[in-house]
Amino acid sequence: MSDAIPISLTINGERRQAFVQPWHTLLHVLRDVLHLTGTKRGCNQGICGACSVMVDGEVVRGCLTIAANCEDCAVTTIEGLARGTALSPVQQAFLEVGAVQCGYCMPGMIVAATALLKRTPKPSEDQIREGLSGNLCRCSGYVKVIRAVQRASEWSDA
Amino acid sequence: MTAYTHPVGARLPRLETREKITGRAEYTDDLTRPGMLYGAIVQSPHAHARIKNYDIGKALDLPGVIGIVTGNDTGLGRSGPFIKDETAIAKGKVRYIGEPVAAVAAVDLDTARRAAQLVDVEYEELPAVFTPDEALNPGAPRLHEEIATYVNVLGLPARDNIVQECEIAQGDVDKAWSQCDVIVEDTYETQAQYHAYMEPCSALVEVDANGKLTVWSSNQSIFRDQANLSESLGLPMSKIRCLSPRVGGAFGGKIEVTVQPIAALLALKTGRPVRVTLTREQDMETMRVRHPARIHMKTGAKKDGTLVAREVSIVMDIGAYADDSPGVVGVSTAFSRGPYRIPHARCRGLGVYTNKLRSGAFRGFGGPQAAWAGEQQIDELAAKLGMDPIDFRLKNAPEPGREWMCGIELERSDLKECLIKVRAASDWDRRRNERGKPGFRRAIGIACIPHISGVLSSSAIVRILEDGSAVLSTGAVDNGQGSDTVLVQIAAESLGLPVERITFSQPDTDASPYNWGTSASRVTYMVGRAVVGAADDAVKKLIKYASQMMECAEVDLELRPGGFIGLKGVPEKVLPFAAISGFAHWAAGGPVIGSHALHYDGPVLDPTKAVIKHFPFRFGVWTFGVQAVEIEIDEATGRITPLEVWAAHDLGRAINPMAVEGQIEGGVVQGLGYALFEEMVWDGGKVANPSFMDYKIPGTMDTPTAIHSILIENPDGTGPFGAKGIGEPPIVGPAPAIANAFFHATGVRLHRLPMTPERVLAALKEGVRAH
């Protein structure tokens, strides 16, 4: 591959470098270059939200984010939420409520829920629906997903 | 000794939850192997064409391309569960737009995809058929000219474009109509629904130095994968090892092979590991959908509300390959009779090839189509007779001691209990009289669901390790529904061990005992029974060795909670599993290994009590469900909003109530999508909406959180701790329940799914005209 663009960015607090093509997405760099496979590819069209990650604190679709534009950005993926073996409050709530079935949407869902609670620490049910409206799940029917976010919001440090 | 907590009945999160919420769970596309290549498929632009020639020169010249396979790289081996009609990749002909016709392996995905565009295939176009009507025309082009030569496992009627023509009949339908005071008759249509598992189909195949294949893939059955690959590739099963990483949802769409054969051809051609993962568009264009169906139905009852007769004709569009269609058509035909006592019934099903994407197994397996028609007719009869729909259903529900259908008698009337519980929980009688605010009509409707969970074969092995903990092997693939957890709970309860002391061995055809598949709501019941049997076998051996160690008779020993064998009546005379297993490993007897295998052995539809033609399953263990849905109808826009759902399901015993609720909530929401907006649409032979942008599945804004699971737990005498299955029934209820609510509110019947605002407005207009 010629004309590769060198990029340098921080992923989950760690400085990383990669060579990318202009059309490469952040999702491609995470999964296929850096082997951070926690972030999932569900549609690659920006609809399903399985590739949701945080870039400089904002939730973005990894599949719609051009990697070359991420120079010097701080990226947080699902792999960056737990502190060692200690789950984040959102992860803990998803676990306790039993919101997880096949788990494929969960990395994106949990990243989106984490960002939602940062913006709105005590969301109403409608605000949770709105905040997760870009994350599709085919297993759960969302009932326990919404309950999990409510539970996490009840813990003050969520 | 701390008190032993019983694992069965515990609300346990899935055992693998931590890996799934931290991003550590490995799905097929997350796996790599040293030297792995990336595969990309070349798809047919034609619905029906003869393949004349492949020109792969330009693609091969692209730097980074390592190998290309076409129909020339595969023999005439064909696979399929009933009628073996599919080669590993298109050979000689293509039969639907999007069908994989060649595939490229390259050092990276960009190169593989670029090369795929450079593969030039020369076709001779053939006339195509896109509906069953077209396909059934005399002189219609035939999709499979050589169908008579295909392996046809059950000798099903397969000729011209027909792969299944079945009938289930009892009584004398033609004469029975004269006994009816009220008769309803109509035609109902259903659409193609896409499974929309969040993980697109993916397979990674590696060939070792001796030519043995290792196959990692997203699947519902490693053994079905192995069988299909063996048939299409012409390799013995012993040369094919199938494994299952985590699976990102399946819902029936991954019960037969997906892209494993193509990845295998590429791996065999290049001698290197190859991973093929479909894009979402490719997955929607090349995998499977729920069968579109046209159902003509007629049902009659007496003035007092007694059902007398039903006649059904179901025509299903099966697409270009038979896949599970003979089964789906058969089950839809059986279920179209409904969960009622109807003395005179004649149900017929027809499955017809068309030049479209194959239809296949999908949660409900023909049940949703049957219920869409049947439950509306039941409701319509009740309305014509001025009876409450629940009273009408109660009157015709199966009763113990009386034949229900085809010789089946039930021990209890679980359907009645479901109806009574839903009536109470939903405050049915009050809500039935609500009308909503002006412009927004509100109504509640109901539907009943029959299903099964006993079919085919399974096995299990329980090994007691040296320290007294255990390994459970079943070969059952967890698609996300939680079977690993539930089976461990069953094993733990049987062994008297805590869940933490049992590990679930990941499915591997080289190491796991056979399991037909994660399908047909059968894993909890069928595999669960195998697990109980294997655990009991292990306990028997533990008792045998303990009797040698304690120098007493085996009959004087008993299993005690916490992992102990003790002397009956003497609390302090006890040996931990660790001591016994250590003895067996190091002193006498050998390692403790329990095993059990079974085929479904319960009552089946009885061919001496009814006409049963070409019904392809010996199945049973009936389960029933009742769902009520309250909706609001926006009269200006035609939009139907589901407000609240009550779902009562008879499941014998909830091994894990949290997982059961997850199945009900998730199934109901898939059913709401099927009811209200999901529809795969074709433009001629081309799928017109192969993306989540254009094919909408329910999101958080589309569904209520008020989905009330009502668990009816009357233990089944044969089930593991009384349990039956719950996977499929929840998807069946929403569509007919909503249509029945809509009728109650408007007096108008909806005959076609999904009930989109456009169709609702048109029906309302038509209904007003009709009145």
The domain B17-23+456-599 having CATH identifier 3.40.50.970: the answer here is no
C-alpha gyration radius of chain B: 27
CB B257 within 8 A of CB B80: no
pLDDT the model gives residue B771: 46
To the nearest whole Å, the CA of A72 is away from the closest chain B CA by 23
Tell whether A151 lies on the interface with B, counting CB pairs under 8 A: no
With an 8 Å Cβ cutoff, are B692 and A45 in contact? yes
Q: Which CATH number fits domain B293-454+604-770: 3.30.365.10, 3.40.50.720, 3.30.420.40, 3.40.190.10?
A: 3.30.365.10
Closest alpha carbon to B565 in B543, B550, B583? B543
Spell out the domains of chain A, with CATH numbers in brackets. 5-80 (3.10.20.30), 89-154 (1.10.150.120)
CB atoms within 10 A of CB B228: 26
Distance in angstroms (rounded) separating the CA atoms of residues B8 and B13: 13
Which residues of chain A have a CB within 8 Å of the CB of B249? 101-102, 104, 138-139
CB within 8 Å of chain B, chain A residues 67-126: 77-79, 81-82, 87, 91, 94-98, 100-107, 110, 125
Return the H-helix or E-strand segment holding B734.
helix B734-746
State pLDDT tens for residues B577-588.
999 999 999 999
d(CA B446, CA B419): 9
**Residue contact A125–B705, C-beta within 8 A:** yes
Measured in angstroms, the CA of B73 and the nearest CA of chain A are apart by: 29
Topology agreement, domain B17-23+456-599 and domain B293-454+604-770? yes
pLDDT confidence of residue B3: 82
Q: Please answer whether residues B514 and B473 qualify as being in contact, where contact means their C-beta atoms are separated by less than 8 angstroms.
A: no
Report yes or no: B341 and B392 within 8 Å, Cβ to Cβ: no
Q: Which of A45, A48, A79 sits opposite B198 (nearest CB)?
A: A48
In angstroms, the Cα distances linking B689 to A87, B369, B696 are: 39, 22, 9
Q: With CA atoms as reference, report the closest residue to B331 among B609, B86, B87, B522.
A: B522
* B770 has pLDDT over 60: no
**Spatial distance between the Cα atoms of B682 and B319, rounded to a whole number of angstroms:** 12
Amino acid, single-letter form, for residue B49? A
DSSP, res B551: T
3-state secondary structure of B202: strand
Q: Please provide the CATH number assigned to the domain covering B31-126+197-250+254-286.
A: 3.90.1170.50
Residue B550 has pLDDT above 70, yes or no: yes
**Inter-CA distances, B105 with B66, B238, B277, Å:** 6, 25, 12
With CB atoms and an 8 Å threshold, state whether A138 touches B666: yes
Based on its alpha-carbon atoms, the radius of gyration of chain A, rounded to whole angstroms, reads 16
* Residue B587: burial class (beta carbons within 10 Å; 0-12, 13-18, 19+): exposed
- Cβ-Cβ contacts under 8 Å, B32 against chain A: 35
The tokens describing B638, both together, are: 């035609």
- The two three-digit tokens of residue B338, written as one number: 């409904």
Q: How many CA atoms lie within 13 A of B83 on its CB side?
A: 28
User: What single DSSP character describes residue A87?
Assistant: P
pLDDT in tens, B456-488: 999 999 999 999 999 999 999 999 999 999 999
Rounded CA separation A114/A99 (Å): 15
* Residue A51 in contact with partner chain B when CB distance is under 8 A: no
* Statement: residue B132 has pLDDT above 60: yes
Cβ count within 10 A of residue A14: 10
In Å, how far are A76, B338, B454, B578, B731 from A137, measured between CA atoms?
Answer: 21, 31, 29, 43, 15
End-to-end CA distance of chain B: 75
pLDDT at B184 over 90: yes
For residue A45, give the nearest of B26, B195, B693 by CB distance.
Answer: B693
Mean pLDDT of B674-693: 97
pLDDT at B768 over 90: no
pLDDT of res. A157: 56
Q: Is A22 in the B-facing interface, judged by CB distances under 8 Å?
A: no
Q: Cβ contacts of residue B138 below 8 Å, gap of 6+? A: none
- Per-residue pLDDT, averaged over B130-158, amounts to 96
Q: Is A127 on the interface with B (CB under 8 A)?
A: no
3-state secondary structure of B717: coil
Amino acid at B391: D
- Give the whole-angstrom CA distance, residue B563 versus residue B502: 11
* CA separation for the pair A33, A62 (Å, rounded): 14
Q: In what order do the strands lie in the sheet with B120-125?
A: B93-94, B49-55, B120-125
Smallest Cα distance from A74 to chain B, Å: 18
Which of B11, B14, B22 should one mutate to test binding to chain A, selecting the residue with the greatest count of A CBs within 10 A? B22
Residues of A in contact with B17 (CB under 8 A): 94-95, 100, 103
A135·B700 Cβ contact <8 A = yes
- Model pTM score: 0.97
CA B725 to chain centre: 12
B528/B80 Cα distance (integer angstroms): 27
Cβ of A133 and B246 within 8 Å? no
Say what the pLDDT of residue B764 is.
93
The verdict on a CB contact (< 8 Å) between A77 and B22 is: no
Instruction: State the distance between the two ends of chain A, measured CA to CA, in whole angstroms.
Output: 44
What whole-number percentage of chain B has pLDDT above 90? 98
Q: How far apart are CA B197 and CA A145, in angstroms?
A: 17
**CA distance to partner chain A, nearest, from residue B22 (Å):** 6
Confidence class for position A158, pLDDT limits 50, 70, 90: very low
Stated as kind and residue range, the H or E segment containing B428 is helix B428-431
Residues A116, A124: contact at Cβ < 8 Å?
no
**Nearest residue of B to residue A34 by CA position?**
B30
Chain A interface, best mutation among B12, B20, B479, B728, by max A CB count within 10 A = B20
Q: Mutating which of A39, A77, A101, A125 best tests the B interface, going by the most B Cβ atoms within 10 A?
A: A101
Under a CB-based contact definition with an 8 Å cutoff, are residues B577 and B583 in contact? no
Cβ pair B482, B656 in contact under 8 A:
yes
In angstroms, the Cα distances linking B532 to B10, B485, B495, B718 are 17, 14, 9, 11
Q: What pLDDT digit, counting tens, does each position of A83-118 carry?
A: 999 999 999 999 999 999 999 999 999 999 999 999
Evaluate if residue B1 carries a pLDDT over 90: no
Confirm if B384 and B593 have CB atoms less than 8 A apart. no
8 A C-beta contact, residue A125 and residue A69: no
Question: Å from B225 to nearest chain A CA?
Answer: 20
Question: What is the model's pLDDT at position B435?
Answer: 84
Closest CB from A38, A44, A94 relative to B280: A44
Interface contact flag, B22 A102, Cβ < 8 Å: no
Nearest to B742 by CA among B710, B764, B723: B764
Listed by start position, the domains of chain B span 17-23+456-599, 31-126+197-250+254-286, 293-454+604-770
Long-range contacts from A69-75, C-beta under 8 angstroms, 24+ separation: A70/A7, A70/A9, A70/A26, A70/A29, A71/A7, A71/A8, A71/A9, A72/A8, A72/A9, A72/A10, A73/A9, A73/A10, A74/A9, A74/A10, A75/A9, A75/A10, A75/A11, A75/A12, A75/A26, A75/A30
**Structure confidence by residue, pLDDT tens digits, B220-276:** 999 999 999 999 999 999 999 999 999 999 999 999 999 999 999 999 999 999 999
Q: Do B199 and A48 touch (CB under 8 A)?
A: no
